[in-house]
Amino acid sequence: GSRRGSIFFGPVNLEDREESSLVDYYDRGNGIVDGVEGTIGNTPLVKIRSLSDATGCTILAKAEYLNGAGGSPKDRVALNMIRAAEEQGLLSPGRGDTIYEGTVGSTGISLAVLARARGYKAHICMPDDMAIEKSDLLHHLGATVERVPVAPITDPGHFVNLARSRAKEHTASSDTPSHGFFADQFESLANYTAHMKTTGPEIYAQTGGGRLDAFVAGAGTGGTIAGVAKHLKEERGLTSLRVVLADPQGSGLYNKIRHGVMYSSTEREGTRRRTQVDTMVEGIGINRITENLEAGRPLIDDAVRVTDDQACRMARWLVEHDGIFIGSSSAVNCVAAVVTALKMPKGSRVVTILCDSGTRHLSKFWKHIAAMGLEDETQKQDEDLLAVLGLENL
């Protein structure tokens, strides 16, 4: 059926103010959008010239950091989760409802912005090793923030479990109709369906009707890779598309996809599972299969492991050669896109995701890059990306 009129693709009608923000936010045809919701989606697909030149392929990156609410692909997810909750009556403006979420940052920021825009409060639980600018931003957005020590997912103090129990406490203790809503990005299927309904179709349209050979993305919840893969492979029938998981060092997903066993790079088969992923990369890399990842797992063809060192060098390279300033998960995606391109015929089109801006990673990732003193080195090896990434022998 026609997408016009659906929640993601409806036309903007300036006369009709009634609940138009949810209905209309996806059409920027006339350049006017209805509220902050209208700045979500329709992000550009950027050809990255330096990576394309170095690989002989076309590397295209979806500039998700340009989503205008929280500056990441999580804007799509947050809006879809809130919308679903509103439809089910779990969230209602003017009732004092609060959105609770466990997040490493991006989803919390998107939820905090949309909560403000739609009449809710936000309460965010996050691990205390994430970059400080994320929790600072959440404070400025008026969210309540709990930074908690890193703990295994089986621990009630794990940031996701804490958010779930805080939501329950809210609903139970409230003597008003006020409700605590646990957004649950890891298990809520409104996460991957947001990408299936929006990110996937945008990529399909932007590549001239699915003219792409590979899609490369990391998994934090798995929503992006699952939703995009489901749209392109199942809904559009692009069965020969290669879907590749970009996995940071220390994450167990690489082995799960390649060998069917969940154990991380820093341990041997048969040893105790690590609960913490040993990487400075924020937002991707986990040691469990979430509902969202499971939805797309059968469609993932391969995985590429990326070291922190490669991610740092890629981030520096992109600033120097392309003027693109990104965070750590985007850098992992770009390294994995290059590795994928090198294994494909020349001229292939590889699509990946730029998740968030480097400005959200100044205090950790970019500070580390500065300390590595890479400027001189990249100038020396100016023309050789593969040498910079240690991929000459691939």
Q: What are the residue numbers of the active site?
A: 74
Helix (H) or strand (E) holding 47: strand 45-47
Q: Is 218 a residue that touches ligand PMP (CB under 6 A)? A: yes
- For the CB of residue 319, give the shortest distance to ligand PMP in the complex, in Å: 17
One-letter amino acid for residue 360 of the chain = R
Q: How far is CA 316 from the centre of its chain?
A: 21
How many Å apart are CA 308 and CA 346, to the nearest integer?
27
> Under DSSP, is residue 107 helix (H, G, I), strand (E, B) or coil?
helix
Q: Is 365:327 a contact under the CB 8 Å cutoff?
A: yes
Q: Is 58 a residue that touches ligand PMP (CB under 6 A)? A: no
Q: Is 167 a residue that touches ligand PMP (CB under 6 A)? A: no
Among positions 238-277, residues that touch ligand PMP (CB under 6 A) are none
Which tokens is 171 given? 């609903």
Q: Is 335 a residue that touches ligand PMP (CB under 6 A)? A: no
Query: Partners of 58 in the beta sheet?
Result: 349
Q: Is 327 a residue that touches ligand PMP (CB under 6 A)? A: yes
Q: Is 97 a residue that touches ligand PMP (CB under 6 A)? A: no
Closer by beta carbon to ligand PMP, 12 or else 295: 295
Closer by beta carbon to ligand PMP, 264 or else 330: 330
Closer by beta carbon to ligand PMP, 23 or else 143: 143
Share in percent of the chain as helix, strand, coil (round to 5): 45, 15, 45
Q: Judged by CB under 6 A, which of 81, 356, 374, 389 binds ligand PMP?
A: 356
Going by their DSSP bridges, the two strands 58-63 and 45-47 should be labelled as: antiparallel
How many Å apart are CA 311 and CA 4, to the nearest integer?
40
Q: Which stretch binds ligand PMP (CB under 6 A): 35-43, 143-151, 170-178, 213-221?
A: 213-221
Q: Judged by CB under 6 A, which of 104, 126, 183, 299 binds ligand PMP?
A: 104
Residues of the shown chain interacting with ligand PMP in the complex, contacts defined by CB under 6 A: 72, 104-106, 218-224, 282-284, 327, 329, 355-356
